[in-house]
Amino acid sequence: MRIAIGSDSATDLTEALVSSLEARGHKLFFFGPMKVGEAERDWPLVATEVAQAVADGGVDEGIVCCWTGTGVSIAANKIPGIRCALAGDAETARGARIFNHANVLALSLRATSVPQMREILDAWFETSYLTGEAQNEWNREQIARIEALDRSSRP
């Protein structure tokens, strides 16, 4: 899978995240200081670059990080077609995939330990969107509402 990954700063967690993603065989595209030779960058810039790469189809999914994870998730969600979920545990990551069809994962650099990050990634990559017969009518309506919001925000 092609994954855009970005953070406003490089930390032990981002190092472990890159190692874990590479060990899973993903092709990574770096944004912000995770890109070799690039200095720290403001989180709204990094998050929107990652999200735009996903929205444009240049990558399959994205992962964004900042101190709380909240800022990057807010910024990423401003890009039409992006459903960024801040996950602090595996069950939240799993639910974001099943019920929200999340295509960008946000992580907190402050609150996420390396073991938690690995559990979150396991849940994220092992969980598919609920679609077709598996998806109930209520969930189809919610996804349709999100997609309608995307359409209404485009010029």
Q: What residues does each domain of the chain span?
A: 2-153
**Cα–Cα nearest to 96, from 69, 115, 114:** 69
Q: Which tokens in the block code for residue 65?
A: 């990080």
Give me the CATH code for the 2-153 domain, please.
Answer: 3.40.1400.10
**% of residues, the chain, pLDDT over 70:** 92
Position 11 scores a pLDDT of 93
From the CB of residue 6, how many other CB atoms can be counted at a distance below 10 Å?
A: 30
- Based on the residue annotation, tell me whether 84 is a catalytic residue of this protein: no
Torsion of CA 140, 96, 83, 67, to 10 degrees: 160
Q: What is the pTM of this model?
A: 0.90
Give the active site residue among 34, 53, 66, 82: 66
Mean pLDDT of 66-81: 96
Beta strands in the chain, from DSSP E residues, in sequence order: 2-7, 27-31, 61-66, 84-86, 104-108
Q: Which residue has the higher pLDDT, 117 or 152?
A: 117
